[in-house]
A and B are shown apart, each in its own frame.
Chain A
Amino acid sequence: MSNSVNISVETTCENQIREIAYDGTELYQPPPTLSESLAKCAARIDFSKTSLEDLKKEEKSAAAAEDDNKDVNQFQESLWPWDAVRNKLKDAYTEICVLSDVISIAKDKRYLVLDPLLEDGDDTKPIVQVYSRKKAISQAAQVLLSGAERLRNAHSEQRSRNISDFHIELLRLRQNWRLKKVSNGAIIGDLSYRTAGSKFGMSGTFEVTKAEDALDEEGAGNSANASTPSSSSSNNGMQPKASSALRVIVPAELQGVAYIKVITQKDQEDLCTAQVNLMGHGPNITAQVGVWQKSLEFAQNVLFCKELFAQLAREAIQLQAPIPHVVIGNQIRATLLPNIQLIISLCHSTSFDSSQPAPINDHDHVLEHSLHQLLREVHYKNSHHPFPHPASAPLGPSKKRMLAGPTAADREALLDMTKTQTILEQIIAQAQHIFMRKRTQYVLDTLARDVKDPQIVSHWNAMNSPTMSCVKINIVTHGYDAIGRTSLVIHVKERSLKCICRDGRVMKLSYEPQELRDLILCQINSHQISCLVSLARYMAWTVLSNSNHLGIGKVEPLGNASSCLLASPNSDRMIAVQIRCDPQIDVKVYIARSPRQDFFPSPLVPEKFWENLGGNFKEVRFDKIEGKSFLNKMEFLMASLTSNTA
């Protein structure tokens, strides 16, 4: 245990010795009075660093100093410690007055304007700057040189197979097909018709990658992560050498080649064959763009053919035809006319056979193009909707239907607007019409070949629709065109013909070819007689009578006989002509003369003048008469029978 010790702390009260007297007494300097200490403290104030509080203290001290000033005024220079303070304050006051004056003058802006000072340059030495700049530039140059070196190496190695070709090929690909980049860096493309309006479910996406080169190891290493060309070149660090061309990967179900085969068959024989082949259409850009264009086009073709066939098969099952359509596997059979069938089949071969035989490129039938166009029309209708006027009207009805109200369309017109035809119906109608047209052409051509006497000239309209064509038939006799011609127009529709004669008669014929043949033969018949009547007028012979439908003689299988009775200008001769239409045109000509040679007056008929009543008709051997045609022969006959009595 320790007791606390008291410690006293005292200041050294020793004052500074001012003087030591001779007797040893020390004269201490008196300790500074309060005012002296205050003055000392005030002298220590640095006026350049005072804060506001210090300024306030200074005011107080300045006030205290003024009191002291009166005391020590006599000691001016060194004994007045407040003098320094006073001077400093005075200077400060002067400065502040000047500052306030300057500010007020500057605020006026009439005599003084404040401008910012330009900063003085660094007072660093210029040489240091030069060195620093030189170093920076050399670093930049280093970077550029290394990049150029790399480019030059890559360029000089293999000119035809470097990274930039991939980009050029990608550019070409992008010009022709829709591509996009997905999140993991792969490039996916779309070759379906979806943006063109198709609603087919099968997707048509393909993938684009860099082409691998089996010979090059680096290429093999690159192909693993070579989906993004930009990343590969920067990530790998080594130069990718062999990856130049593109490679496209199409889905498995779209690989290969497909086409739609359309055949019209009669009782198991082929009548005409048509094959849809969308390849070979359009300009050949294979040389420019490489193999991928062809493979993508084939895949797109396969997709289109599949969609077309699926649509046709669906319609074949839904439609109700008099003879039902049959769908077996990849074939659709529809009946056009009795015994005539239309077979549509989808042929898809997955093996790439570049030596495919010629039939693919040979036939370019209208039906294939029609099928193609019909499906594209469906696509178009799906994507283009007619815009309603006004804009608040419902979207959907066609423009014709929207105008039906204000134009007071009647019920038949409205019913017609609602009728639509499916693709299968349309193609069947077109095939039927093609068949009818071929048949009509055949009938007319064989008739024109067989019947030489009046010539049958048929002019087919150059413009026609897929389901209707028109042909104008002129029946003229050579050399006698001015005398007369018989014209008729035949409208060839899908399953029937409509024939309009010059005199306004309209006849509807069915698809049997025999009916048309019979009609033309009847027309020839009436042509001969009507031309004969005109010819007789020219020859000054009188037409006593003519008839188009004689009901005499044997019943004919075809039409009726027509006849004509002519009298010579002197009335001394009469010609009777009868034309029949047995399978061949059969002409019979008879002549009578008056006065009759064999008249002898008898008790019943005594007068002589009865001999003028005309004699019997005698048949002429018409085939032996000179003349190129019927009219020619008749002209010669009439000429020879005309007697030249005045």
Chain B
Amino acid sequence: MGVTVLQPYPLPEGKSGSHIMDHLGKRLLSLGATHAGQFLVDCETFISTPQHGTPTRAVHVLHNSEYPASTFSIIDNGTGKQVALVADSIFDLLMLKMTSTFTSKKQTKIESRGARFEYGDFVIKLGSVTMMEHFKGILIEIEYRPCITLSYCWEMIREMLQGFLGISVAKEYPTYFTTQTIMNAMGQQQLHAKQNDIYEPMDTVKQYLEHFTNYRKHVQLHGTLASAAGSIGSVMMPSTVGMGRS
């Protein structure tokens, strides 16, 4: 088990998603990584039947092919509090029985699918995000297996990402790991730095949910960001030397 970080890859103008995936895959193979199968992370959302007085609650059910025996689910009541659960795969059958309370919104079923590469202690997954057969973007997942705390290996992951992707990755921790204020056991508010926690598989799934939510809502925004970042990326590429890119 290791530390996993998700990085959306901005699509440059004029290139298709599959072309970019091939390009990145070839880069990884030339670096020395080995292709090790495919991966799939999907998310299905169930909305509770609206009753007046209570806001509608959403249940997100996610699967990750890296943990084939488990089903992850996150309940999101409208006020922003999330409750997460790791369960056996039989949880899906349970959700089928809950159709009276929760209705499935099939049109928001979103998944990230692609090739999986193993490169030494890293596992890199290049995923193309699709929602109902519409391509949404490219999401790169990188996992550093020996470490279990992000703060120890963030710099190395960042260097690795910058190296083979060719884009600049911000120095700050990803948005999922930002410091939050929580109530501790004494009832006081306290700053909690998530990057020092022991990393769990649930954190990967929560990061995926965060990105999927972004893809669902801000599709256009992502598109414009992608075009802007793509131009920056294309300027940056020739200046970085010795990265072995095709």
Spell out A's residues near B (CB within 8 Å).
401-402, 404-411, 414
Contacts and interface: CB of A to CB of B under 8 A. Distances in A.
B210 interface: no
Contacts of A409: 67, 69-70
A407 B69 CA distance: 9
Nearest to A417: B69
Interface in B42-74: 66-72
B219 interface: no
A157 B68 CA distance: 80
Given A408-B86, A408-B202, 13 more contacts: A404-B69, A405-B87, A405-B89, A405-B90, A406-B86, A408-B201, A409-B67, A409-B69, A409-B70, A410-B66, A410-B67, A411-B67, A414-B68
20 contacts: A401-B69, A402-B88, A404-B70, A405-B69, A405-B70, A405-B71, A405-B89, A405-B90, A406-B86, A406-B87, A408-B67, A408-B70, A408-B72, A408-B86, A408-B200, A408-B202, A409-B67, A409-B69, A409-B70, A410-B1
Interface string B80-96: 00000011111000000
A404 B69 CA distance: 6
Interface in B68-118: 68-72, 86-90
A407 B1 contact: no
A405 B68 CA distance: 8
Contacts of A408: 67, 70, 72, 86, 200-202
Contacts of B201: 408, 410
A387 to B, nearest CB: 16
A411 B68 contact: yes
Contacts of B90: 405
A628 to B, nearest CB: 47
For the residues of A in contact with B, the DSSP-based class is loop
B88 A405 contact: yes
A406 B85 CA distance: 8
B143 to A, nearest CB: 10
B117 to A, nearest CB: 15
Contacts of A404: 69-70
B70 A406 contact: yes
Q: B66, B69, B71 — which one has the most chain A CB atoms within 10 A of its CB?
A: B69
Nearest to B91: A405
A411 B86 CA distance: 16
A411 B66 contact: yes
Nearest to B2: A410
A409 B68 CA distance: 8
A451 B67 CA distance: 54
Interface of B: 1, 66-72, 86-90, 200-202
Contacts of B71: 405
A425 to B, nearest CB: 26
Contacts of A401: 69
A414 B88 CA distance: 13
Contacts of B88: 402, 405-406
Nearest to B204: A408
Contacts of B86: 405-408
B121 to A, nearest CB: 14
Nearest to B205: A408
A388 to B, nearest CB: 11
Nearest to B201: A408
B76 to A, nearest CB: 20
Contacts of A414: 68-69
Contacts of A402: 88
A233 B89 CA distance: 69
Contacts of A405: 69-71, 86-90
A72 to B, nearest CB: 107
A419 to B, nearest CB: 16
A446 B123 CA distance: 46
B97 to A, nearest CB: 14
Residue from B68, B89, B200, B202 with most neighbouring chain A CB atoms (10 Å): B68
Nearest to A404: B69
Contacts of B89: 405
A418 to B, nearest CB: 11
CB-CB nearest 8 A-B residue pairs = A405-B88, A408-B201, A404-B69, A405-B69, A408-B67, A408-B70, A405-B70, A408-B86
Contacts of B68: 411, 414
Contacts of B87: 405-406
A319 B118 CA distance: 31
A483 B70 CA distance: 56
A414 B202 CA distance: 18
B38 to A, nearest CB: 12
A404 B68 CA distance: 9
A406 to B, nearest CB: 5
A405 B87 CA distance: 6
Contacts of B70: 404-409
Contacts of A411: 66-68
